Amino acid sequence: MKIISIILSLFSCLLLGEVKSQDVFVNSRLTQIWETTDSLITPESVLFDPASKLLYVSCINENPWEKDGNGYISKLTSDGKIINLKWATGFSAPKGMGISKGKLYVTNIDEVVEIDLENGAVLGKFTHPRAVNLNDIAVSGNGIVYVSDSKGDCLFQIKNNKLEILSDSPEVKASNGLYLEKGILLLGQKNRIIALNLLTLEVSTLIENTGSIDGIEAIAHNTYLISDWMGHIYEVEPGKEKKLLLDTTPIKKNAADIGYNRSENILYVPTFFKNGVTAYKLN
């Protein structure tokens, strides 16, 4: 009986260890404040608009690489209520977004789509022969739209109503997340963040050993949040070790192209195959 008790005790410990290993990690600095239902199908990116206090969510609607025309953009309140589930439609795999001069710009595989913020109508599309998988967008104060290509060799910009190559340096190849601050464009790559000086086009490595990067958001000067799609979110700074804030990989809950409300310190996480958006207060 004693041997059986020992075996049962060991088995229980193994089971408890297995359960514990399946727990998600949420840093004490994060507090979940809301989560949407399953109506947002394969959300890839969340964009917070400080002017309207609204959220835009790009929903791929299942296949992230196929030109199927079933993707859409949803409009939500900042507390997660859906205003219009299919506010703009006809996309194939909408991903990164940016707002400039009353227009929303959205990547859609090998094109950038321009949308009227007033009514969701498509105003135009921008393409380029070297565009492969356009991914994220950042917008300057003077209206230039910067576009990354996560499978291509170029970094693009929309300037003078035309999608053109800004840089085809090997350093910018296969970039994903973008963030623009003070004339420096940050590009998230496989294991680093690089900084592109928009005046000189010189490239330097800003932060190393990041792991793969999907989204980048600044929470302070030289302090950033990054997501890696698999379900991790880190805080990173130049010259410092990355800090884990969220790990939902045990439940296969993705963390795609994150959004951030800097005035209220709220992080928005699109969960991709889990079909929702989760919002956290960052303390």
Confidence of residue 170 (pLDDT cuts 50, 70, 90): very high
- Mean of the per-residue pLDDT values for the chain? 92
Strand order in the sheet with 223-227: 25-26, 243-247, 232-236, 223-227, 215-220
CATH topology of domain 28-282: Neuraminidase (2.120.10)
Count Cβ atoms within 10 A of the Cβ of residue 240 and give its class: 0-12 exposed, 13-18 middle, 19 or more buried.
Answer: exposed
The contacts found for 240-248 with CB under 8 angstroms, 24 or more apart, are 242/209, 242/210, 242/211, 243/27, 244/25, 244/27, 245/26, 245/27, 245/29, 245/30, 245/282, 246/24, 246/25, 246/26, 246/27, 246/30, 246/280, 247/24, 247/25, 248/24
What pLDDT, in 10s, does the model give residues 9-37?
A: 444 443 333 334 468 999 999 999 999 98
What pLDDT, in 10s, does the model give residues 39-68?
A: 899 999 999 999 999 999 999 998 888 899
Measuring CA to CA, which residue among 114, 113, 150 is closest to residue 132?
A: 150
CA angle 33, 271, 130 (to 5 degrees): 135
CB 176 within 8 A of CB 148: yes
pTM of the model: 0.91
Domain segments of the chain as ranges:
28-282
Check residue 66 and give its pLDDT. 87
What pLDDT, in 10s, does the model give residues 113-159?
A: 999 999 999 999 999 999 999 999 999 999 999 999 999 999 999 99
